[in-house]
Amino acid sequence: MTEREMSIAEENEVVKEEEYVLLDLDDVRAEVNVPPNAPYVLSGLDTLNPTLVIGNNLKLIGEYEETVGTCYVFTEADDAPVLHEETGPSEANLFKGKCIVDPNQTSAKQVRPIASLQKVIKFRFFSEADKQGEAAESERNL
């Protein structure tokens, strides 16, 4: 490849940027139980009002909100319980070479960051007014 061809190839190379967005369903979850593994379709992320369809019957419309600062997303996993091994001499020598788990110890979680984000999409129910607005917008685009 010549230098010129390499330069053209570099210019044509698509740079992929990942951007994470938090889907805020707080306004919806009080009224509808969304199962954890429900199928969904998220569309219109490049528009002002993305839509989220959960299952076959729940349609939500979203609106972007900027965050104040950066939001961090974490994942958590159960941490192994702390084991205490008898290391010193014991008068009764009852626990020599044994591991003891404290029954009063609360379970610990191991937390690690997985992403940071700057935007939140706040979703609400898709209403009749939204349908009329969509129809009017599609007529204007014709």
* Ordered DSSP codes for 103-131: TTPPPPEEEEEEEEEEEEEEEEE--HHHH
- 90 or 4, greater pLDDT: 4
Burial 63-89 (b: 16+ CB within 10 A, else e): eeeeeeeeeeeeeeeeeeeeeeeeeee
Mean pLDDT of 13-21: 75
pLDDT digits (tens, 9 = 90+) for 88-103: 555 555 555 555 556 6
> What residues form DSSP beta bridges with 5?
none
Does pLDDT of 138 surpass 70?
no
pLDDT of residue 73: 86
Does pLDDT of 142 surpass 60?
no
How would you write 65-109 as a 3-class SS string? EEEEEEEEEEEEEECCCCEEEECCCCCCCCCECCEEECCCCCCCE
* E strand or H helix at 33: none
The answer to whether the beta carbons of residues 115 and 124 sit under 8 Å apart is no
Taking residue 115's Cβ as centre, other Cβ atoms within 10 Å add up to 14
pTM: 0.56
Among 24-33, 87-96, 102-111, the range with the most confident prediction by mean pLDDT is 24-33
The answer to whether the beta carbons of residues 61 and 47 sit under 8 Å apart is no
| Among 38-52, 54-68, 69-83, 123-137, the least confident range | 123-137
